[in-house]
A and B are shown apart, each in its own frame.
Chain A
Amino acid sequence: MELKKEPKVTKQLWYLTIKNFKSMIRELSQLIWIFGYPLVFILLMRFAYGLETYNIFAPGIIILAPIVLISQLAGHFADEKESGTLQRLITTPVSRQTILLSGLFSQLIVAAIQIVIILLLSLLFGAHFDSNANIFLLFFIPFLVAFLSLGFGLLLASIVKTAGSAAGLAWFIILPLQFLGGILSVEPIIEFIPTSLASEAMSAVMLDGSIEFDLVGLNLIYIAIWSLILIIIGILLFQRKTAIL
């Protein structure tokens, strides 16, 4: 029997990412969670509290959107472990690193779509965007928060055994990030946590059209460092968890 060529890692990564993405968008409950959770806050703030209050909170709500990826990613890997598909993939010539990266990439694709839709919905419901607001930064700040969420998601994935427990335990990360970071309050309770930094930067860009380094650049560097540390720890823990024994 003729042996096939060595499979290319980039192709494996692409196919796995597409597989993850398809699985995600074909599940209604996941779509509701990804888009519905931030949308509920938009509608609540806009219609229950009025346009003035909504304008104050809109940058925070946009930051809130990619945080749902924490439970998404942890749930994805827990599901792969629980259903045995992770092990089935491991019997093929694909590496665990490629499987892990494909999980991250598919979530980032979802995050990109989600952020664009939430930005458009915010605009549609009358949120204030300064005329000088930098469009790249409006997208990039929440996208950086998506990286941060993936870091937390990986940490969670290395702890949980089922998708159900991932969804439950994720709230112990999402709620502190949300409330302590001042996303839904006028002032952050803890200033140095990444959501507080992201919310501050987003407000500066969106409401004032600012690109000041102290308010935007520095905050983004801090968030990037937070994300990098979490992702590295998450990868190490996840690899230990899925090691062949």
Chain B
Amino acid sequence: METAIETQNLKKYFGDIHAVDGIDLKIPKGSLFGVLGPNGAGKTTTIRMLSTILHPTSGDAKVLGFDITKEASEIKRRIGLCPQELVIYPRLTARENIHLIAQMHGMAKKDYKERTDDLLGKMNLLDRANSLVKGFSGGMKRRVNVLMAVVHEPELLFFDEPTAGLDPQSRRVVWDFIRDFQERECTIILTTHNMEEADDLSDELVIIDHGRIIAQGTPDELKGKLGEGDILEFKIKEIEQRDEIIKLAKTLDFVRWGKPVGKHRIVLNALDGLRRVSEIMDVVKVKMEDISVRKNTLEDVFIDLTGRRLRD
């Protein structure tokens, strides 16, 4: 299979801060590849290096077969970047903002006009196409932000937290749009700290923490590593009892693992957890403030690997 992105020991240091600390990636063409990690994990820095707006401190990276430092202009002609922030011109209309990016890529006028209208329609923005963006709601601005990244039909698209701050309805619109785009043989790199987004959209993903890859695989593979049990999350009052509760719970043969999360929470993985909560309660003999049971998520994978939540 052809490779869209290949990095070897890619690093970016800002003084003493190791933002990206040796990342090795091999992303096949045509895939929707997720990069999941908490804020400050190094996701955006990685994207910025791969989209040629930041030079790496060391390491090698090739994007669509071109070196990111020596052949940046070739890469720029083939990629689209949807930045995390709302990077739009407020005193241009939605249509003018999108046209501008198409014009920078040298698209023919007829093509970009047709395509812009088509895209605006898909994002439910056609009726506001000629309004200045400064009067748009946050969700509408974010949709324009996305359209500016895709208007020129790039071979490779970087979506950096494309739905950050969006309401659930707008988030669904963007997700559907991203899925639709991938069907056109485009490779998509999606960074997110939203586990639902990563799980729902990615064919394959990496989990990054402190500038390093700590897990890689398909969402199902990663969740599968935690075992088949349910996730039970307990909220406790007495934090000093945390370790003791985990120790006691693990004495039960159906409890596969347990981890403290933050100061007041414990996460246990237990087979048939929903039916057997009472058995756990009998053993640990501590009053719980709150109990929830759910299936494995990518967040649990992250908790298992780091002992922290994605949003900690």
Contact = CB atoms under 8 A, between A and B. Distances in A.
Interface in B196-254: none
A146 B21 CA distance: 48
Chief secondary structure at chain A's binding surface: loop
Contact of B76 (A1, A19, A26, A92): A92
Interface of A: 1, 3-8, 11-12, 15-16, 19, 22-23, 26-27, 83-85, 87-94, 244-245
A19 B73 contact: no
A234 B55 CA distance: 24
Nearest to A24: B91
B106 A8 contact: yes
Nearest to A245: B55
Interface of B: 51-55, 72-73, 76-79, 81, 83, 85, 87-89, 91-92, 96, 100-101, 103-107, 132, 148, 152-153, 155, 184-186
Contacts, number: 84
Contacts of B155: 1
A240 to B, nearest CB: 15
Chief secondary structure at chain B's binding surface: loop
A84 B85 contact: yes
Contacts of A4: 77, 105-107, 152
Contacts of B81: 88, 91
Q: Which one of B106, B155, B184, B186 has the greatest number of beta carbons of chain A within 10 Å?
A: B106
Contacts of A15: 100, 103-104
B106 A83 contact: no
B87 A83 contact: yes
B106 A91 contact: no
Contact of A1 (B89, B132, B148, B185): B185
B132 A88 contact: no
B54 A84 contact: no
Given A1-B153, A244-B55, A93 B105 contact: yes
21 contacts: A1-B155, A1-B184, A3-B77, A4-B77, A4-B105, A4-B152, A7-B106, A8-B106, A22-B92, A23-B89, A23-B92, A84-B83, A88-B148, A91-B76, A92-B76, A92-B105, A93-B73, A93-B77, A93-B105, A94-B104, A244-B55
Contacts of A7: 103-106
Given A16-B104, A93-B77, 5 more contacts: A7-B106, A8-B106, A15-B103, A16-B100, A93-B104
A3 B132 CA distance: 31
B150 to A, nearest CB: 12
B92 A6 contact: no
B103 A12 contact: yes
Given A93-B73, A244-B52, A244-B54, A3 B106 contact: no
A26 B132 contact: yes
Given A11-B103, A84-B85, A93-B106, A22 B91 contact: yes
